[in-house]
Amino acid sequence: VEGIGYDFIPTVIDKRAIDYWVKTDDDESFAMGRNLIRHEGLLIGGSCGATMAGAFRFIKENKIGAGKRVAILFADSSRNYMSKNMDDSWMEANGFSMKEINRTCNEKGYYAKLYKVA
């Protein structure tokens, strides 16, 4: 995912301020991002897809139930990605199978309405 896909942790980060780390891959990040665009009308970029995919994993792994809230901040918009991860042709040309993206969405439950995750 452009901008966040590097394999390092910035030295300025205070690791004590972080309660939970989640690592996502490009497939699930783009799958979630495209799902949010398609089904929720949120015009976001790939890093926001990674953020939401990580939130889904956090919710499932920690069994966050009804009546609980998880806050998620989206740091970008789709403006810079109109010809990239939002474009089926670009996705295919860069090794992202749309069939695989759809399988990932179904397998991970990304087609669920976001307010009904728990």
Fold held by 15-116: Rossmann fold (3.40.50)
Decide: helix, strand or coil at residue 36: helix
Residue 112 pLDDT exceeds 60: no
Q: What is the pLDDT of residue 14?
A: 92
H helical segments located in the chain: 26-35, 46-61, 88-93, 98-108
pLDDT digits (tens, 9 = 90+) for 52-88: 999 988 888 888 888 888 888 888 777 777 777 777 7
Q: What is the pLDDT of residue 100?
A: 76
Q: What is the pLDDT of residue 5?
A: 66
Which of 116 and 24 is assigned the larger pLDDT? 24
Q: Where are the domains of the chain?
A: 15-116
pLDDT digits (tens, 9 = 90+) for 37-59: 888 888 888 889 899 999 988 88
Which of 108 and 61 is assigned the larger pLDDT? 61
Which of 70 and 8 is assigned the larger pLDDT? 70
Q: What are phi and psi of 11, to 5 degrees?
A: -70, -20
pLDDT digits (tens, 9 = 90+) for 10-32: 889 898 998 888 888 888 888 88
**Residue written as token pair 């972080």:** 18
